[in-house]
Structures are given as structure tokens and as C-alpha cells.
Amino acid sequence: MLMEAKAIKNDASQREYPALKIKTQRLLLRPWRDEDLPAFAKMNQDSRVMEFFPAILDRQQSDSVAMKIRQQLDDQGWGFWAVEIPGEASFIGFTGLNKLSNDLPFAPGVEIGWRLSRDFWGKGYASEAALAALEIGFLQMKLREIVAFTAEHNLRSRAVMSRIGLGYAGEKFEHPGVPPGHSLRTHVLYRIENPFSNAAASEPELEYQPKNAE
């Protein structure tokens, strides 16, 4: 049974896809707002959140990342959406889809990614939001495949990748954005093909059941 994720279209302009707000059982994936920036900066300065990135980000660097994400959402209508818990937390991080950088050995393509504040780990939010993003990618954008990657030792993110249906076939690569010799340079690649592309598949396995997850 498919997890219900309701996509709410905003006024469309000349975007590649109409901008979306996505509602799941507990979450809202939405465009970013200026008031998200302080919480995002705090998250990017948390050494646990950034454990598998080369470095934490200062406020200027964090705002620059947010600006790039917001611009991509505005240009494309899809990307890394801000995630909130309506009535509880106005911003807990981001989840969504992103065009692969051309310097990655498996480009071109689209990746799924997420980054959540540590206060909201272990509640299944990453899986819930990621499944909603997969649904948009496969049902509305008609993508053939979506990938995910992370540092080899990032077991939390790898568990989420497996939980939402991505498979690991032993593919590893040296991330070009991480300096040679760095302990985080070796990354693993997970993949999932569009389960809706085969008309004979009556019930794709994208069901989400809340459990103790990232």
C-alpha cells in the first residue's frame, strides 16, 4: 500500500515543474522561508549532524547553502524542501531531490537526500519525508531511477536508504568533493528504480510504517 503524500500546487509560472508543498501523515515539506535560516545554521554547527561531512558550517556558509537550495526550488519547482512538523516545529531540516553534480562518476541523474536536526532523530521523520519525495520523483516527475549516497561509515543514513527501499549492490566511489586521503572520501551508492514504470506492478513497495528510525 502506498504511503499517502498529498502534493499541493502553488501558482505555476515557467518552472520545470509546479512548485509543491507536500503533506504526509505528520510532516509538511515546503519552500524555505527566511525564518528557517537560524535553525538551519544551528543544525549545520552541530558536530553530530555534520559528523559525515568534511566540516561544520559557519553562519555565512550555512546561509549560502540555503540560498542555493531556495534558488533551485524556485527555478525548478522541486529540490530540497524545508521540513516542518505542523503545530510542533516550524523547521526540522530538509529532505528532497537534487540533480547530481556533473563530477560524480554516476551522473547525470537525481539523488534523494536529507538532513535533520538531532532533536528529531529516532522518530521516523527522515524515512517519512524521503518516501514522500520518492513518490513525487517517480509519480509526477516520471524519473527512471533515484540514487542516494553517503560516507561509507554513515550507518544511520544507510539504514534510512535501506528502509525506504533503495538497494546497495556494493558500489563505492571516491567523492570528488572530499580531499584525497580524508577518512570520509569513500562513499557508497544506493539505487532504486521507478516501481511505477511497470504497469503490471499493482502494489509498489513504498509503504511507510513509523518506527524507531532516523
Q: Say which CATH number the domain at 69 has.
A: 3.40.630.30
In tens digits, the chain (214 residues) has pLDDT values of 234 455 544 333 344 555 578 999 999 999 999 999 999 999 999 999 999 999 999 999 999 999 999 999 999 889 999 999 999 999 999 999 999 999 999 999 999 999 999 999 999 999 999 999 999 999 999 999 999 999 999 999 999 999 999 999 999 999 999 999 999 999 999 999 999 876 334 333 444 333 333 4
Residue 182 included in any domain? yes
Residue 149 domain boundaries: 6-193
Residue 85 included in any domain? yes
pTM of the predicted structure, to 2 decimals: 0.85
What's the pLDDT at 93?
A: 98
Which residues lie below 8 Å from residue 146, measured CB to CB, with a gap of 6+?
97, 109, 110, 111, 112, 134, 137, 138, 166, 191, 192
What backbone torsions phi and psi does residue 34 show, to the nearest 5 degrees?
-55, -35
Residue 123 included in any domain? yes
What's the pLDDT at 5?
A: 52
Residue 207 included in any domain? no
Cell of 77: 519547482
Residue 212 included in any domain? no
Q: C-alpha distances in angstroms, 33 versus 9, 66, 84, 172? A: 17, 10, 11, 36
- Closest Cα partner for 52 from 155, 122, 191, 176? 155
Number of domains in the chain: 1
Residue 209 included in any domain? no
